[in-house]
Structure 1
Amino acid sequence: MGGDAVRYAIGWLGWGIVLGVLLVATLVGLFSSDWKAAFKRVPWPLTALLALMLIGSLWSNYSWISAGAALVQMATSVFAVYLASAFDWREILRLFGNTLRVIIYSSVAFELFAALVTRSPIEPFFPNYEGDHPPAVAFYWTQGNLFTDDRIQGIVGNSNMLAYMCMIALVVFAIERAANTTGRWVSVFSFLAVIPMLLLSRSASIGFALVAVMAAAIVSIAAEGKTRDIRHRYYRIAWAVIGVGALLVLTYRAQIFSLIGKSPDMTGRTKIWKVVLQLIDERPLQGWGWTSYWVPWVEPYQGLVVINHVPYFQAHNAFLDVWLQLGVVGLGLFLLLIGLTFVRLWRLAVRHTSPLYLWPILVFVGIVTQNLTESRILVEIGWVILVLFAVKVTEPSESLEPLGKTVKLSRLKRLAKR
């Protein structure tokens, strides 16, 4: 989490050293345990997708870069498999919660420092641009906008990434409290920090993602303990509401985005999608080769999309990015992986009585929805979460905590009365 913050602080070389040490520690931990059982739980669409990333380097214009990117993706996947095998769901929740608290509290302190002490934008210690000064405001670590009308960036250096972290944190902090993983005051201070950061980051895509999270929470809690027919009736109603809502947003997007202070083209995303679709049309079957983030010094990505002097290195839609890089077969495997993981996480959330098992499906729904306008799920923590959930949810039910005598709704009502 917060990879940009680490790179801004210690540079790409330092970042590479940190990742190298982490990979060695991961391999030691993984192979000192029952690693064969861990890898047997990896779903086949994920295995096929990773294999395609590597095989695709054979027909890529940038074969060595593509092969290297595929190996990095595999290393990231190994780390996620290790997390899934070494920790149970409650321990992973606690690990996520503590890490997110560090990021959120650091973001609060960082923005206060920029607004009250330096009273000016702060540049990265190791900048990702040429020249003495940033060519555009987007290159600052933070612009120091805490007490202005503009968006804040937090310690992660990006408003959308900060909002992404805050969305996950909201779910994690809520489930921590519901599952009695943290004390009341820890939860109170966590929410007091994360809510202002979320609001001040002003991310429209995260707003829509949170609506999806709330809908998933309501439907999954309501469906627990009901007969199959009633559950499926709830699901049909939910999908119908989602479909109507999506149609209304598409139809009245100009008015809706105007109300929240955004442009109808979603801050240039429609321009990016048009360019990406043109490239897809050139290689729809095999794709251009895997890179995860676009590599700016190779074709076709060199100078591909530049908006307001800021180059873009992703399609701002994970599904388009996979299609662009891995072709239609890769897109099919990715959709299958997403769908299979969703169904398994949903069953876990609905069939278990503990609120603990709500957090995976709620986080998953949030990041998948957000990745209709971002590609974060394909890199770093986004990919770790996807692989972690896809592998962890395949564990046998015997590894879960015992079922309670009451459904989640009753337990949550009792918690609310405290």
Structure 2
Amino acid sequence: MTLPGRLPLPERLPDLLGSARFSAALTHCIVGTAVLSHAIRATMGWAGLVAVMTALVAMAAGSLVAKRGDWEWRGLLPVSLLLLVGWCAATLLWTAYQPDAVGGVLHLAASAFLAVYVGVVRDLIQIVRAVGDVMRLVLVSSLALEVLAGLLIDGPIPFLGIRGALERLGPIQGLLGERTALGAVALVAAVTFAVELMTRSVSRGRAVFSLTTALLVASLTRSSVILGTFLVLAVASLAVFGLRHLARQARPLANSAVLVLAAVVAMLVVAFRSPVLQVLQARPDYLQRVALWREMLRLIDLNTIEGWGFVGLWRRDAYPYTALDLVSRGAQETGRNAYLDLFLQAGLVGLVLFAAFCALALGRSWVLATTKRGVGYVWTALVLVVLVVVSLAESVTLVEWGWTLLVVCAVKAAQGRSWRHGLPEQPLPA
């Protein structure tokens, strides 16, 4: 007997997929899956991660269809994103390890699609709240596991990559499985929690606790890369908030001055890099990176323009990654430098497209952060600063959580500064 008033599932499904609650829950799942990809692969394998992402893509596609009357096409996707993903897919035509490359390209495209979904259906403050909720869970869980490994059982948790070094005050790896990745997540979390505090999105006590936890986790990673990124982030934060307090007429000139100053500082760092390198040479991780990068540059010379084929995370049973595996002694899944890693995989064309994508996203978000009144615009600019700087020493922006956040920020920046807003409005048909 059918209960009166109850609609059959096929009629209720579009309402469910198009509801705000479903979009909010799906956004949390997308961000959580991206940040916890390492933990999912460590516990469920690639099959588990693929199954989770397939389900998320299907639900996101259904939700977009159900919401098709709520969004319009202008500025929806940055053209630079389409070109970058398209070129990475084109490398399938000449790669020597096509089955692995197909998986890498599909992973890249699926992550980008999920990030675009988040950027389209959620506003900026809602995204900040979702990222904040996920980051709180990840950081607290990471600290709990480090306490378990380092203080209670006094031993590592190998399948998660946790070494159990908390009793020596680090370095810790947490649920990310690598200290620099955990530190980068902690810095993104710190930016998120600070914006939550300023916008009063959560209670003051929760925001202060979260911010303190993020800074504690970042310090316990004991990573020189994270320390350097934190200093750059601090300077960028001062610059953004300083520019926001200037008169509106003075901001364009001030932004130009900041751009010139950043270029000068970058050139000075390159020109006087010897003292910095002498300090870093005492660190084993730096020596390992240099050896890996030298071998990568040698392999890049063999396929400079087109690259060896995009694969994302390295496949150690395919050349040239077998050669790189010998140099890194089986310890790496990436090139420890997003720009050099993409240069190897997608060639000079891919590197130029990636650099243009990052530069456009950062430039647009920086202008929005310094000209718009909402504090939420600061989040995209500072998160992109963290991602762009960390990418000099880790390949976080090519895969998983780093790539997802990069695309989310790029989509939100394009919505505010896209040249396509000057085109005539043509809403998608309902």
- TM-score tier after normalising by the smaller chain length: 0.7 to 0.9
Higher alpha-carbon deviation: 164-173 or 307-316: 307-316
1:98 equivalent among 113, 133, 149:
133
C-alpha distance in 2, partners of 1:347/1:308?
A: 40
- Give the Å deviation of 1:194: 1.9
Return the letter of the residue paired with 2:274. Answer: T
Q: Distance in 1 between matches of 2:61 and 2:48?
A: 20
The residue identity in structure 1 corresponding to 2:256 is: H
Aligned to 1:411: none
From the two aligned structures, give the one with the greater helix fraction.
2
- Cα deviation, residue 303, structure 1: 4.4
Taking structure 1 as reference, are residues 157 and 38 closer, same or farther at Cα in structure 2, changes over 3 Å only?
A: farther
Please give the alpha-carbon distance, in whole angstroms, between the structure 2 residues aligned to 1:108 and 1:230.
Answer: 41
Q: Does the residue aligned with 2:72 lie in a helix, a strand or coil?
A: helix
TM-score, normalization by structure 2: 0.82
Contact 2:240 2:369 in 1 (8 A): yes
Partner residue of 1:270?
Answer: 290
- Quote the offset at 1:163 in angstroms: 0.7
Q: How does 1:43-192 map to 2 (within 5 A)?
A: 43-124=78-159, 141-148=161-168, 150-192=170-212
Pair 1:361–1:183, CA change in 2 (3 A): same
In angstroms, what is the RMSD of aligned CA positions?
Answer: 2.2
**1:252 match:** 275
Query: Separation in 2 of the partners of 1:229 and 1:45?
Result: 26
- Could you tell me which of 252, 260, 271 is aligned with 1:236? 260
CA contact (8 A) 2:296 2:324 kept: no
**Alignment length, in residue pairs?**
379
Match of 1:403 in 2: none
Q: Which position in structure 1 is the counterpart of 2:61?
A: 27
SS at match of 2:230: helix
Residue matched to 1:204: 224
Distance 1:351 1:23, change over 3 A: same
Q: Which residue in the other structure is 1:41 paired with?
A: 76
What is the distance in 2 between the residues matched to 1:313 and 1:157? Answer: 12
SS of the aligned residue for 2:166 comes to: coil
Structure 2 residue 380 is matched with structure 1 residue 357: no
Q: Deviations over 1:165-224 (max 9, x none)?
A: 111111111111112112111012212322221111111111111122112111222223
C-alpha separation between the residues in 2 aligned to 1:328 and 1:165?
Answer: 28
Q: Distance in 2 between matches of 1:67 and 1:11?
A: 18
- Taking the aligned partners of 1:84 and 1:370, their CA distance within structure 2 comes to 22
Q: Residue 87 of structure 1: CA displacement?
A: 0.4
1:344 aligns with 2:364: yes
Q: Which moved further from structure 2: 216-225 or 51-60?
A: 216-225
> Is 1:300 equivalent to 2:320 in the alignment?
yes
CA distance in structure 2 between the partners assigned to 1:267 and 1:190 by the alignment:
34
Match of 1:386 among 391, 394, 406: 406
Q: Choose which of 390, 410, 430 in structure 2 pairs with 1:370.
A: 390
Deviations 1:250-278 (A, max 9, x none): 121245437xx735x71411111111111
Post-superposition offset of 1:302:
1.7
Superimposed CA distance per residue, residues 140-187 of structure 1 (whole angstroms, 9 cap, x where no aligned partner): 631211111541111222212211111111111111111211211101
The alpha carbon displacement at 1:10 in A equals: 2.6
Sequence identity, in percent? 28
- Return 5+ residue gaps in structure 2 as ranges: 1-34, 418-430
Q: Which residue of 2 aligns with 1:8?
A: 42
User: What's the CA shift string for 1:97-140, capped at 9, x where partnerless?
Assistant: 0000000000111111112321211232xxxxxxxxxxxxxxx6
Cα deviation, residue 239, structure 1? 3.6
Is 1:320 the counterpart of 2:340? The answer is: yes
Q: CA deviation digits over 1:14-62, x for unaligned, max 9?
A: 2222222212111111222228735852111211111111221111111
- 2:243 is matched by which residue type in structure 1? A
TM-score (norm 1): 0.85
SS of the residue corresponding to residue 282 of structure 1 reads coil
- Tell whether the 8 Å contact from 2:387 to 2:406 is kept in structure 1 after alignment: no
CA separation of 1:278 and 1:94: change in aligned 2, threshold 3 A: same
Instruction: Go from structure 1 to structure 2 and tell me whether the alpha carbon gap of 1:247 and 1:53 turns closer, same or farther (over 3 Å shift).
Output: same
Query: Contact conserved, 1:284 with 1:328, CA < 8 A, in 2?
Result: yes
1:136 matched residue in structure 2:
none
